[in-house]
């Protein structure tokens, strides 16, 4: 019997090629998208999972409440580690990391600028079990001046990991011996090219910082507990810990505010966007939800196609059902047959989907910046998901047709003059409306997303990001800093170089906050504020405008000691109506505000412009900015390259352009949203496939009516109109339903941005019109075919 069902299913598929193609193509596209989305989500959720003890590790992050507001840092103080060990002897391990950032690395005659260097101690590898390709994890970082390389970094310098061990590298003029090589597999918020023994760094700390300075937040502190069930209790212990050690210290030192340590489970770090100065940018969990929803939508739309087309076509299968009943089939057997058929079709679609995925993986990788391979095809998790898809789609898509078809009465359907109607037209219409509502929500979403992205890139940032070449000035090299005035002059000798400036920081890089005293109602109050160290030419090089006062000037000898520039947001924060002359004490400066800049963005437009202090420090290292003329760019860049390399032959030169660097902040988001856009396109495609099938069915069903109308003198045009009108109404209804939902969703998404496009009516109108246009094109094609038939043939077919 199974064989019989199989044959019927297969022959039906072959005989009704268009119908089968629509169903299978729709399902295959839906399933392929689901598989790709599954891969993406699984990858996003896989952070830290490769560490054996991932579920037992927590990070302690700092939260400070003070006049400056509520501040959250991924960082904590060096003093935390020894205090934890002392207070909680039952804690298995405490380990701290510190960023070493980007450094020039020397090895024999090789020189590279290496990023993502991290200071760690010997207990680090006890907590995070990296696979070691060389070296013993228990002791690799025991000695000072040792370094453990990542496999990737080792490959740059050596032929094999074993070869690296014992070799000497130089970082910041200090020798470090390679003691091990680890494999950099799996996703983690800790992205390291090398772990450097922290003892060198620790040796530099003064006693106060080492033992007691709780606001010296420069470390990432991880604690290995016995299991997740301890997390809550440990949080309570940490609250008591802060009350015991930290808050008394704050009082003793006449500082304001209170501090708390929050226990952050390792597995939650990747999606936790709350903490500043994290080791790597946080992921966005809402994209995981959005993509999961998109996957379900795509499958649902494909299922609806199947249901609609199967019931619409049911008249054709009615005779078969009747006959099977006549020869003795009962209803349950018929239900099983049709369910089986949909599972069978789903299986074919899944096969096709797998082939599609295989073809699409490289493109998908390029779109998402991931590195998927088809190796996952054989993982049990994947096979389980595949099975779930087959069962879900088979049952969802197959159930309605199965129950509907199996209800046919043989006495009704076997009389040739009494063909049954193809299922409930109302239900079918409702399903079409659902499909188009989903598609429209996605179209509207796509339009909003892309206009927002466009807005972000083109908005006036308060500075001119174009035509600024940025050169990394290696930090901590005093001879380089001393010679800056000379190299700046040399660069300015080229008429295409307009302004040259040096600064410790640039927009889109993390800003550091400093504690300062600021004048408020005749008193000096404590504030923490983003602070940059800039030279005389910074505002000109950046194209930042002053709203009050003046820029730093070489003509005022006192500027270096007693003048400060702030932005408007800082003036607003202090409530200064006339900020010029207000007193600010920061570090060893006691200075007056001489200028206020217009607000400019130092971070992505997700956030408002924050208060900012720009301190004059002509010897800042960090970045050299060169504003160049657009003419002869390549030659100018080449000129600057040559000059800089001659000036600093010790370090490999790193440079980039400000605009690209700033837009880089949106790159991950943009990639994700591009993928979303593709999937939105696919939903529309699948929905239209279904509509095409349904329209052809309607035209077929109404052939006789069309014939009679034509005999009575109706034109082709009016028949196309007649057939299209119904569908147009359905799409219209979808627009009405989709608009508020999309408005709500997109409004919520836009809340993530401090600066956003308005949700104007034209977005909804454009989405509605395009959906209507696509739907009508699809339908009228079929309608036209029916309307052009000779009326004689049309009447005869019934």
Partner 1 sequence: MNKEELIIETENLQKKYITDTVETTALAGVDLKIKKGEFVAIMGPSGCGKSTLLNILGMLDSPSSGAFRFLGQDISKATERQRAKLRKENLGFVFQSFNLIDELTVEENIALPLAYLGVSKADTEKKAREAMERMGIAHRRNHFPQQLSGGQQQRAAIARATVSNPSLILADEPTGNLDSVHGREVMSLLSELNEAGTTVVMVTHSPSDAEYAHRIVNLFDGQIVTENLNVRRHATELL
Residue 15 in the binding site for partner 1 (CB under 8 A): yes
What letter does residue 591 receive in the DSSP assignment?
Answer: E
Q: Rounded to the nearest whole angstrom, what is the least distance from the CB of residue 6 to partner 1 in the complex?
A: 11
Residue 270 in the binding site for partner 1 (CB under 8 A): no
Residue 18 in the binding site for partner 1 (CB under 8 A): no
Q: Would you state the structure tokens that stand for residue 111, as one six-digit string?
A: 């020189």
Residue 331 in the binding site for partner 1 (CB under 8 A): yes
Residue 325 in the binding site for partner 1 (CB under 8 A): yes
Q: Which is nearer to partner 1, 333 or 365 (CB)?
A: 333
Of the ranges 82-90, 207-215, 327-335, 646-654, which one interacts with partner 1 (CB under 8 A)? 327-335
Residue 12 in the binding site for partner 1 (CB under 8 A): yes
Q: Rounded to the nearest whole angstrom, what is the least distance from the CB of residue 422 to partner 1 in the complex?
A: 17
Q: Fill in the per-residue mask, 332 to 361: x = in contact with partner 1 (CB under 8 A), - = not in contact.
A: xx----------------------------
Given its phi and psi angles, is residue 665 left (phi above 0), alpha (psi -120 to 50 degrees) or beta? alpha
Residue 409 in the binding site for partner 1 (CB under 8 A): yes
Contact with partner 1 (CB under 8 A) among 26, 180, 322, 394: 322
Q: Which is nearer to partner 1, 405 or 628 (CB)?
A: 405
Q: Which is nearer to partner 1, 325 or 582 (CB)?
A: 325
Of the ranges 144-152, 187-195, 406-414, 498-506, which one interacts with partner 1 (CB under 8 A)? 406-414
Q: Which is nearer to partner 1, 4 or 607 (CB)?
A: 4
Of the candidates 480, 473, 501, the one whose C-alpha atom is nearest the C-alpha of residue 627 is 501
Q: Which is nearer to partner 1, 16 or 177 (CB)?
A: 16
Q: Which residues pair with 117 in a beta bridge?
A: 101, 194
Q: Fill in the per-residue mask, 275 to 314: x = in contact with partner 1 (CB under 8 A), - = not in contact.
A: ----------------------------------------
Q: Which is nearer to partner 1, 325 or 756 (CB)?
A: 325
Contact with partner 1 (CB under 8 A) among 61, 127, 141, 329: 329
Contact with partner 1 (CB under 8 A) among 52, 143, 330, 790: 330
Q: Which is nearer to partner 1, 236 or 323 (CB)?
A: 323
Place of tokens 């709780």: 214
Of the ranges 328-336, 471-479, 636-644, 721-729, which one interacts with partner 1 (CB under 8 A)? 328-336
What letter does residue 664 receive in the DSSP assignment?
Answer: G
As a whole number of angstroms, the distance between CA 597 and CA 288 comes to 40
As a whole number of angstroms, the distance between CA 676 and CA 746 comes to 13
Of the ranges 413-421, 489-497, 710-718, 744-752, which one interacts with partner 1 (CB under 8 A)? 413-421
Q: Would you state the structure tokens that stand for residue 259, as one six-digit string?
A: 């501090």
Q: Which is nearer to partner 1, 328 or 758 (CB)?
A: 328
Of the ranges 137-145, 315-323, 366-374, 469-477, which one interacts with partner 1 (CB under 8 A)? 315-323
Contact with partner 1 (CB under 8 A) among 7, 421, 486, 629: 7
Q: Which residues, 23 to 52, sit near partner 1 by CB under 8 A? A: none
Q: Would you state the structure tokens that stand for residue 231, as one six-digit string?
A: 């997390």
Q: How many CB atoms lie within 10 A of CB 270?
A: 22
Contact with partner 1 (CB under 8 A) among 415, 486, 550, 554: 415
Q: Which residues, 599 to 618, sit near partner 1 by CB under 8 A? A: none
Q: Would you state the structure tokens that stand for residue 385, as one six-digit string?
A: 């998901």
Residue 416 in the binding site for partner 1 (CB under 8 A): yes
- Provide CB contacts within 8 A for 699, sequence distance 6+: 706, 723, 782, 783, 785, 786
Q: Is the CB of residue 373 less than 8 Å from the CB of residue 362?
A: no
Contact with partner 1 (CB under 8 A) among 245, 319, 457, 598: 319
Q: Would you state the structure tokens that stand for residue 522, as one six-digit string?
A: 């005749």
Count of residues binding partner 1 (CB under 8 A)?
27
Tell me if residue 753 falls in helix, strand or coil.
coil
Contact with partner 1 (CB under 8 A) among 168, 233, 240, 326: 326
How would you class 318 by CB atoms within 10 Å of its CB: exposed for 0-12, middle for 13-18, buried for 19 or more? Answer: buried
As a whole number of angstroms, the distance between CA 61 and CA 74 comes to 5
Q: Is the CB of residue 581 less than 8 Å from the CB of residue 638?
A: no
Residue 320 in the binding site for partner 1 (CB under 8 A): yes
As a whole number of angstroms, the distance between CA 449 and CA 681 comes to 14
Contact with partner 1 (CB under 8 A) among 144, 410, 652, 745: 410
Residue 11 in the binding site for partner 1 (CB under 8 A): yes
> What is the sign, positive or negative, of the torsion defined by CA atoms of 584, 589, 590, 592?
negative
Q: Is the CB of residue 632 less than 8 Å from the CB of residue 496?
A: yes
Q: Which is nearer to partner 1, 143 or 330 (CB)?
A: 330
Q: Which is nearer to partner 1, 328 or 522 (CB)?
A: 328
Angle CA 745–746–752, to nearest 5? 105
Q: Rounded to the nearest whole angstrom, what is the least distance from the CB of residue 411 to partner 1 in the complex?
A: 4
Angle CA 746–272–445, to nearest 5? 15
Q: Rounded to the nearest whole angstrom, what is the least distance from the CB of residue 342 to partner 1 in the complex?
A: 16
Q: Rounded to the nearest whole angstrom, what is the least distance from the CB of residue 436 to partner 1 in the complex?
A: 33
Q: Which is nearer to partner 1, 135 or 322 (CB)?
A: 322
Q: What is the CA 353 to chain-centroid distance, rounded?
A: 25
Angle CA 400–405–406, to nearest 5? 105
- Residue 13: phi and psi, rounded to 5, are -60, -45
Of the ranges 79-87, 321-329, 396-404, 775-783, which one interacts with partner 1 (CB under 8 A)? 321-329
Of the ranges 317-325, 582-590, 595-603, 787-795, which one interacts with partner 1 (CB under 8 A)? 317-325
Contact with partner 1 (CB under 8 A) among 198, 219, 270, 324: 324
As a whole number of angstroms, the distance between CA 455 and CA 447 comes to 12
Q: Is the CB of residue 628 less than 8 Å from the CB of residue 501?
A: no
Residue 328 in the binding site for partner 1 (CB under 8 A): yes
Q: Which is nearer to partner 1, 1 or 712 (CB)?
A: 1
- Provide CB contacts within 8 A for 481, sequence distance 6+: 473, 619, 620, 621
As a whole number of angstroms, the distance between CA 319 and CA 427 comes to 23
- Residue 468: phi and psi, rounded to 5, are -115, 115
Tell me if residue 181 falls in helix, strand or coil.
strand
Q: Which is nearer to partner 1, 14 or 203 (CB)?
A: 14
- DSSP assignment string, 482-515: HTHHHHHHHHHTSTTEEEEEEES--TTSPPEEEE
- Residue 590: phi and psi, rounded to 5, are -130, 100
Q: Rounded to the nearest whole angstrom, what is the least distance from the CB of residue 352 to partner 1 in the complex?
A: 22
Q: Would you state the structure tokens that stand for residue 234, as one six-digit string?
A: 């440990």
Of the candidates 532, 648, 700, the one whose C-alpha atom is nearest the C-alpha of residue 600 is 532
Given its phi and psi angles, is residue 424 left (phi above 0), alpha (psi -120 to 50 degrees) or beta? beta
Of the ranges 390-398, 404-412, 582-590, 701-709, which one interacts with partner 1 (CB under 8 A)? 404-412
Residue 411 in the binding site for partner 1 (CB under 8 A): yes
> What is the sign, positive or negative, of the torsion defined by CA atoms of 296, 301, 305, 307?
positive
Residue 20 in the binding site for partner 1 (CB under 8 A): no
Q: Rounded to the nearest whole angstrom, what is the least distance from the CB of residue 307 to partner 1 in the complex?
A: 21
- Write out the residues near partner 1 by the rule CB under 8 A: 1, 4, 7-8, 11-12, 15, 319-320, 322-333, 409-411, 414-416
């Amino acid at each position: 019997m199974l064989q019989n069902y199989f044959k019927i299913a297969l022959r039906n598929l072959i005989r009704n090629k268009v119908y089968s193609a629509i169903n299978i193509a729709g399902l295959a596209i839906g399933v392929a998208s689901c598989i790709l989305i599954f891969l993406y989500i699984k990858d996003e959720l896989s952070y830290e999972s490769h560490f054996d003890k991932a579920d037992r590790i927590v990070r302690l992050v700092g939260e400070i409440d003070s006049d400056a507001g509520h501040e959250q840092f991924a960082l904590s103080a060096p003093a935390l580690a020894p205090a934890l060990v002392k207070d909680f002897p039952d804690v298995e391990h405490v380990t701290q990391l510190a960023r070493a950032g980007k450094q020039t690395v020397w090895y024999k005659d090789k020189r590279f600028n290496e990023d993502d260097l991290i200071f760690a101690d010997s207990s680090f590898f006890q907590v995070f079990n990296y696979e070691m390709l060389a070296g013993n994890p228990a002791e690799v970082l025991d000695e000072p001046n040792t370094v453990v390389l990542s496999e990737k970094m080792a490959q740059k310098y050596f032929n094999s990991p074993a070869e690296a061990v014992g070799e000497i590298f130089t970082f910041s003029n200090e020798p470090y011996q390679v003691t091990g090589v680890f494999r950099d597999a799996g996703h983690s918020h800790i992205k390291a090219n090398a772990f450097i023994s922290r003892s060198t760094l620790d040796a530099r700390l003064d006693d106060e910082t080492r033992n007691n300075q709780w606001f010296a937040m420069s470390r990432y502190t991880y604690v290995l507990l016995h299991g997740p069930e301890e997390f809550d209790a440990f949080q309570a212990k940490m609250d008591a810990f802060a009350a015991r050690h930290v808050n008394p210290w704050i009082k003793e030192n006449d500082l304001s505010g209170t501090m708390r340590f929050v226990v952050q489970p390792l597995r939650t770090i990747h999606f936790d966007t709350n903490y500043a100065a994290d080791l790597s940018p946080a992921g966005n969990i809402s994209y995981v939800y959005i993509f999961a929803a998109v996957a379900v939508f795509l499958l649902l739309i494909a299922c609806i196609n199947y249901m609609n087309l199967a019931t619409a076509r049911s008249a054709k299968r009615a005779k078969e059902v009747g006959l099977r009943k006549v020869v003795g089939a009962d209803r349950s057997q018929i239900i099983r047959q049709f369910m089986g058929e949909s599972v069978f079709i789903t299986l074919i679609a899944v096969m096709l989907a797998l082939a599609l995925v295989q073809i699409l993986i490289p493109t998908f990788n390029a779109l998402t910046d991931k590195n998927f391979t088809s190796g996952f095809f054989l993982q049990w998790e994947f096979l389980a998901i595949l099975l779930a898809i087959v069962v879900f789609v088979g049952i969802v898509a197959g159930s309605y047709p199965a129950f509907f078809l199996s209800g046919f009465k043989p006495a009704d359907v076997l009389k040739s003059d009494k063909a049954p109607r193809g299922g409930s037209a109302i239900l079918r219409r409702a399903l079409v409306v659902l499909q188009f509502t989903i598609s429209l929500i996605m179209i509207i979403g796509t339009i909003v997303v892309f206009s927002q992205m466009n807005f972000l890139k083109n908005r006036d940032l308060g500075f001119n990001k174009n035509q600024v070449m940025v050169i990394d000035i290696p930090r901590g090299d005093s001879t380089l800093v001393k010679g800056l005035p000379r190299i700046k002059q040399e660069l300015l000798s080229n008429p295409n170089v307009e302004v040259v400036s040096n600064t410790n920081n640039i927009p889109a890089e993390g800003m550091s906050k400093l504690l300062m005293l600021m004048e408020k109602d005749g008193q000096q109050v404590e504030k923490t504020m983003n602070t940059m160290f800039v030279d005389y030419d910074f505002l000109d090089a950046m194209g930042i405008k002053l709203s009050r006062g003046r820029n730093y000037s070489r003509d005022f000898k006192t500027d270096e000691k007693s003048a400060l520039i702030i932005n408007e947001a800082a003036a607003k924060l202090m409530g200064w109506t006339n900020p010029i002359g207000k007193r600010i004490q920061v570090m060893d400066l006691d200075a007056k505000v001489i200028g206020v800049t217009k607000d400019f963005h130092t971070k992505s437009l997700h956030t408002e412009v924050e208060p900012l202090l720009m301190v004059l420090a002509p010897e800042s290292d960090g970045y050299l900015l060169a504003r160049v003329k657009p003419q002869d760019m390549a030659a100018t860049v080449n000129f600057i390259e040559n000059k800089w390399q001659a000036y600093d032959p010790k370090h490999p030169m790193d440079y980039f352009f400000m605009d690209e660097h700033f837009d880089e902040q949106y790159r991950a988001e943009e990639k994700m949203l591009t993928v979303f856009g593709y999937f939105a396109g696919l939903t529309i495609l699948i929905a239209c496939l279904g509509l095409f099938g349904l329209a052809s069915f309607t035209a077929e069903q109404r052939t006789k009516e069309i014939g009679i109308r034509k005999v009575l003198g109706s034109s082709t045009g009016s028949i196309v109109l007649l057939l299209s009108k119904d569908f147009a109404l359905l799409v219209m209804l979808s627009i009405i339903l989709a608009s508020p939902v999309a408005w709500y969703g997109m409004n919520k998404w836009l809340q993530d941005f401090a600066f956003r496009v308005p949700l104007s009516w034209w977005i909804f109108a454009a989405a509605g019109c395009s959906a209507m246009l696509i739907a009508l094109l699809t339908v009228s094609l079929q309608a036209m075919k029916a309307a052009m038939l000779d009326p004689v043939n049309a009447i005869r077919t019934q």
